[in-house]
Amino acid sequence: MGNNTTVLVTGANGYVAAHIIADLLSSGYRVVGTARSQSSAEKVLSAHAAHNQENQQNLSMQIVPDIATPGAFDKAVQVDGITAVIHVASPFQLVAEDNERDLLIPAIQGTKTLLESAATNPNITKVVITSSFASIVDIGKGLRPGYTYDETDWNPVTFDDGKNSESGGFAYCASKSLAERAAWDFVQDRKDQISFSLSTICPPKIFGPAFTSPARAESSSLGVSLKEIYDLVGGAEKTVPQTQFWAWVDVRDVARAHVKALEVAGAAQQRFLITGGRYSYQEIVDVLRKSERIPHIVKAEKLPLGTPGQGYAGDFVYNVNNEKSKSLLGLEYRSLEDSVVDAAVQLLSLV
């Protein structure tokens, strides 16, 4: 992949995709993004306006209203010059009215639809899909003390498990696992007919700042991880939240992983657990309290205290192995402090 490469990025208006697009543009790529509506597309173009200088349209947009519709990406993949795809678009919600309709079908069918479309363009040589630690972790085994998760692990959940679960979080995990399995099955089944290799990126809980600072009017519609930091520094969270998933990563490192997966030859046909390590919400609160970048009044009046120094990830909870991403992709990970403090400082303007 060189600087003349044009990359299609789906779900371009999302938290992770915005950082991926910024990384690509800064690295000299041209980008075609997809969004569900013209208004969303305009926001993406505005956010990255600095890279669309006169006579140099490095970023353009395509409208894809429903990613699960057959042929949804047919037009987008045929934009002149596209040789790689990063598929980020997928529903992310932890409360669903109908698990099958709201989570499972969009995630699985959206992935299949994207790959079907990509297969129609023989110039596409690389596809990178944003999967999740949710496709790795076996929720049924609980905290698994003494166990270390890596890329060889798979969440064993079935479609019916996800469909019938009363937990939106469980159903979301099912949607990510089943979508990633569908992608690998597609590539295996079509290996003699497609021109592209596949890489999947599997991040756990993602922290870090939004690419563009959210406006005050957007405080009620923040993504899950940003909303959690906002609730801590804004005083809405009166107690330290319980930790559900004990691994984390910075959004900017997730973006870098996607770009490196395009560039590193050895990343083809590989999945990557992208993680900065383990964390707990008590550790996040302690990090925010220790930071000189967080105003004293926020520490005194807003942040919950919990039990400082207690409840960090330890021998009672699984570990995670990120060696493959470091050795093969050359990733270097930000600290938890850099990640959550950067996000908190950005969000303080909304408090």
Distance (Å, whole) CA 344 – CA 230: 7
What is the side-by-side order of every strand in the sheet holding 197-202? Answer: 59-63, 30-35, 6-10, 82-87, 126-130, 197-202, 270-273
Q: What letter does residue 240 receive in the DSSP assignment?
A: P
DSSP tag of 217: G
The span from the CA of 143 to the CA of 139, in Å, is 8
Instruction: Give me the catalytic one of 43, 75, 141, 176.
Output: 176
d(CA 214, CA 256): 22
Token pair 């939004």 is found at: 210
Distance of CA 79 to the CA centre of its chain: 25
Is 326 known to be catalytic?
Answer: no
3-class secondary-structure state, position 197: strand
- Lookup: tokens for 266: 């050895």
Buried b (16+ CB within 10 A) or exposed e, 256-270: bbbbbbbbeeebeeb
Active site amino acids? 176
